[in-house]
Amino acid sequence: MASIQRIRPEGRTTGVVLAAGAGTRLGMGPKALLPYRGRPLVESVAAALLDGGCRDVVVVLGAGAQDVISLARLDSYLTVANEDWPSGMGSSFLLGNATAEPENHLLIALVDQPGVTSRTVGRLLAAHRSGRITAAAYSGGDAERRADGTVRRGHPLLIDVGLRAAVAGTVTGDAGARGFLRAHPELVDEVDCSDESTGEDIDTPEQLRLLG
């Protein structure tokens, strides 16, 4: 298999995997431990970020954190536990942001998105422009093409180092960076990654099909 060339934007990028959810609707324990291609899903997502060109990766755990640490091979990454994980994804985002080196860009990924690949990550890093946010966009699954033919924004999301503080200042509850993105669409570049994935998350039992 050909090696994947690591392409980084100017400066360094820390990948952050938001993996604190309990997966209550699925009833299968923490989403981080969902089985995917013979290993826990969190391993696959974290590896995609590192192999795709991130300098380092922070994995934010929450529900069942000790079980995840025991059962998943995460030695190559920095793991942190969000004690406030029931409050929503926002607190995990803020913890990941606070843990990452302050001089690095931030690439945010969701642990329940098995379609994230190293090629997707590399594409975002290569497309990123200084002072902007670069987001993967998709045309499949829950992210259908808009009427004008464009694709819908999803994850991963690459936040320029110069915008980290501004984005973090808008994060509340379960919204993550959504508020900032809606308020500043002029700062967001979307990169079509439909050839890599549908962009779907695993939120319902029906979506377990994404695990293959």
Average pLDDT over residues 106-118: 95
Please write the tens of the pLDDT for every residue from 185-201. 999 999 999 999 989 99
Q: Is the pLDDT of residue 7 over 50?
A: no
Q: Is residue 154 part of a domain?
A: yes
Residue 173 covered by a domain: yes
**pTM of the entire predicted model:** 0.89
* 3-state secondary structure labels for all residues of the chain: CCCCCCCCCCCCEEEEEEECCCCCCCCCCCHHHCEECCEEHHHHHHHHHHHHCCCEEEEEEECEHHHHHHHCCCCCCEEEECCCHHHCHHHHHHHHHHHCCCCCEEEEEECCCCCCCHHHHHHHHHHCCCCCEEEEEECCCCCCCCCCCCCEEEEEEEECHHHHHHHHCCCCCCCCCHHHHHHCHHHEEEEECCCCCCCCCCCCHHHHHHHC
Residue 173 banded pLDDT, cuts 50, 70, 90: confident
| Domain-embedded: residue 78 | yes
Q: Averaged over 22-29, what is the pLDDT? A: 79
**Per-residue confidence (pLDDT) for residue 22, from 0 to 100:** 85
CATH code: domain of residue 181: 3.90.550.10
**Distance between CA atoms of 145 and 122, rounded to whole angstroms?**
23
Q: What is the pLDDT of residue 148?
A: 53
Residue 20 in domain: yes
Tell the burial category of 36 from Cβ atoms under 10 Å away from its Cβ (0-12, 13-18, 19+). Answer: middle
In a domain, 188, yes or no: yes
Look at the chain and report how many structural domains it folds into: 1
Q: Is residue 212 part of a domain?
A: no
Overall average pLDDT of the 149-156 stretch = 82
Residue 10 pLDDT greater than 80, yes or no: no
Cα dihedral 173, 177, 178, 182, rounded to 10, equals 140
Q: Which residue has the tokens 């997707």?
A: 120
What is the rounded average pLDDT for all residues in the chain? 89
Domain coverage including residue 169: 13-197
| Inside any domain, residue 207 | no
Domain annotation covers residue 8: no
